Amino acid sequence: MPQTSNRFFVLTGGPGSGKTTLIQRLAAAGYATSVEAGRGIIRDQAAISGTALPWADRALFAELMLSWEMRSHAIASVASGPVFFDRGVPDVIGYLKLVGLPVPPHAAKAAQEFRYRKVFVLPHWPEIFAQDSERKQDEDEAQRTHASMVATYIACNYELTEVPKTSVEERLAFILENMEQA
């Protein structure tokens, strides 16, 4: 049975588009949020010299992301009020497609089972894109990631709402307004 919640909202898109900044602002405003799986896994794996990294073992990295996203969904189910996710279960499928790996049946099933009310897509924004120790993608890969996430969420039967390239405050207001209209 699908585990859909009308309280769950996803922010997705390519790296460096402002998702985490908005998630942090939503948390500061008192909303429940999730931590981005990819960054968390990279930090954890780096701390233990693990191989589940996007530049080492992409398939294992994807499996850990899937597990992380499903766990985030389960944790959010006991929270009250709206919950905002820094990426969701379908992002794992988008990642697998981006890196040319097959999508295992269990990942496709997870995307059918773990659902969200609304998906906010943050477009690629070269002016704010930056690489760091965890974000090693270049701008080309960031653009391709954005396209992969859009295609994946559409394939998973979501309607997408694009967040405009404006100030953080205006983006936050846009998300909250669209959340209430959902």
pLDDT at 83 over 80: yes
pLDDT in tens, 93-103: 999 999 999 99
Distance of CA 91 to the CA centre of its chain: 6
pLDDT at 3 over 70: no
Q: 121: pLDDT confidence band, cut at 50, 70 and 90? A: very high
According to the 3-state scheme, what is the secondary structure of 17-28? Answer: CCHHHHHHHHHH
The percentage of the chain sitting over the pLDDT mark of 90, rounded to a whole number, equals 69
CA distances from 4 to 24, 54, 68, 83 (A): 24, 29, 17, 12
**Cα torsion at 146, 148, 149, 153 (round to 10°)?**
140
Mean pLDDT to the nearest integer, 25-41? 93
Predicted TM-score of the model (pTM): 0.90
Which residue would you say has higher pLDDT here, 22 or 126? 22
CATH 1.20.1530.20 for the 3-181 domain, yes or no: no
pLDDT at 133 over 60: no
**pLDDT at residue 1 in the model:** 37
pLDDT at 87 over 60: yes
Mean of pLDDT over the chain: 89
Residue 105: exposure state from Cβ atoms within 10 A (0-12, 13-18, ≥19): exposed
Hey, CA dihedral for 150, 13, 38, 26, is it positive or negative? negative
Q: 65: pLDDT confidence band, cut at 50, 70 and 90? A: very high
